[in-house]
Structure 1
Amino acid sequence: MLRATDVAKYYPVRTDALPWNQGRNRAGKVLRAVDGVSLEVRRGETLGVVGESGCGKSTLGRCLVRLTELTSGRVEFDGRDITNLSARRLRPVRPGMQLVFQDPQASLNPRRRAGDIVAEPLLVHRYGDAAAIRRRVSELFDVVGLAFAHLDRYPHEFSGGQRQRIGIARALATDPKLIVADEPVSALDVSIQAQVLNLFADLQDEFGLTYVFIAHDLGVVRHVSDRIAVMYLGEVVELAETEALYAAPAHPYTEALMSAAPYIDDTADADGTPDTADADGTAAPGTERRERIVLTGDVPNPVAKPAGCAFHTRCPYARERCAVERPRLTETSPGRHTACHYPLTAPGGTGRVNSQVSTA
């Protein structure tokens, strides 16, 4: 459905907005928001994109649907190269790819009624006369679980979850094939998150949708995704099937990210001791125990990225090669791609192979 090849988005760094720097620019300085990302999204699947704040997830999502122009690279949608299409030639492609925004409050026009908001893409793409558009909007409200009476209400009259449903209805209006969901549940309460996630799943089953699901909540991504791409400092460092990724992460950053995710140990007794523990309280052989990995140092400045692997300044397994040679995202085992010179899993995904490597 979608293929991105070496997609990059750089923003020039300017300082002339400051009174004491009028007319002065940092010549040649750029912020590398997305730095050479290549991935494919299969028809009918959900590709999760995770990473810490500022890693370039949202910028990548906007680049994939051409809401943000690429600095370099190539994007193909449904077999067609859309990288350099003009606005006029891109217009008939737009209905097939839509975006659900992170903040449902900010993404809805507060001066327009909910029904008019959902009807806008139908008017833009000339869906039909006023009666046909009204019927279509009513159908969309019913699909996302909103009542007909909600059509004439304004966004401030809805809850956060209801506002996000309006945003989803607007995205569905043009019968898209692909939806990029940019952290669509991060601004919602936990109970409402579950309702919206279930709605996404139901819509995918009903309409055969393909999702790129961007989030920083690892539990949410695991619940909804078929495959997961892990981003760090504008790059995809690991791409794998969801369960394989959670069972045995291959990149050190993924390993640290997974260790930070909260989980429930449902094997523990009332006193907190695992059921499989020995008499001395230690875990019995074969019992997996999660250890928190605390990374040292700060995330490097995206304006001055380090040479070699972008993660080597914080990686506990880094070697000399990591500081000078940038790893490419390559297939390290069937279905798994990793951008690491020394991946943590063997070719068959049987376990860590460099756990004793010291920090460079």
Structure 2
Amino acid sequence: MMKHIHLSLAHMSGKEEEFIHEAFLTNWVVPLGPNVDGFENDLAAWLGEKSASPLHVVALSSGTAAIHLALVMLGVGPGDEVICQSFTFAASANPIVYQGATPVFVDSEPGTWNMDPELLRQAIDDRLRATGKLPKAIIPVHLYGTPARMDEINSVASAYGIPVVEDAAEALGSEYNGRYCGTFGTYGALSFNGNKMITTSGGGALICPNEESARRVKFYATQARENFPYYQHEQIGYNYRLSNISAGIGRGQMYVLDEHIARRRAIHALYVEKLKNTPGITVMQPRSNVDLHPNYWLSTILVNPQEAGFTWQELSARLTAADIESRPLWKPMHLQPVFAKAPAYVNGVSEALFAQGLCLPSGPMVTDEDVDRVVEIIKN
């Protein structure tokens, strides 16, 4: 019987059980506790190794919650517009609607598959003409772990005085010009879902600009309870804090984070080497004039059916028949029925990628032999 090859399966370090066991021994199984503080400190220290200033990280229940609280902190509300990358998962855009605001979608550029800075500028100018006010925030995404063109995006944002919420849910460990993704915006969102670089089963974090903003995020994330001897609430809050048990898993995962990043990069390099000169198959490799070092959370390919002789759908079906998981690229948000009425500035890039793209098994549990199986099916 052939081994089932997962797309991106979580891998434990062995240290997770120690932190969880300690939480049970001390009865810290409630949403807050030492593991939460420890995990936040671990993340801040690790990310801060390549940051010029101290980082402030708040552990939350999901990456979606992180983006939502960033928008709350920026005062996004009804009648506002927020620019969001179109080529992404819905969790990048949904929190905009949670706040009663309208998403404005901007298409990608072909070098990184991420937000096109020039199209971003055009969108801002057009929204200013159409509505008489500027968008309240900009949400670029580091898709599949490939860094967006943050220098140019931040330059545009700065020119108009618009804050940036960096969606780094897929990009923990990815580097842009020597800095970790998630540290370029006013806020940066991370995800620790079960298939991400590290996992807390479910969870996320928000990278904040200073200690006071982190304190305020924690306030909103714990139901906005005021400092009274009884329960007093003067603002709407949310139940968004990560549990002490989940944070224990995260602390154990930090021991294998560097290993996971290295393994995913090695898997991507294998796909590049083994699929080179394969007709109709292109392994995604970013093109940029700056130093990009993706984590390659998922290795992705484009299938040109005219040259390959098959579509990505046919290839995916063959992989499934061989007990190998794959996944189509994200369907752009401007094509999603739920966002049909949202303004969109498109150039055809994300639609073309969606029409040809497929994600291949890329998790740390994928072996070299697994890659060989995948490659053999593609070539045959």
Given the two structures, how large is their TM-score scaled by the length of structure 1? 0.27
Structure with greater strand percent: 1
Larger Rg: 1
More helix by share: 2
TM norm structure 2: 0.26
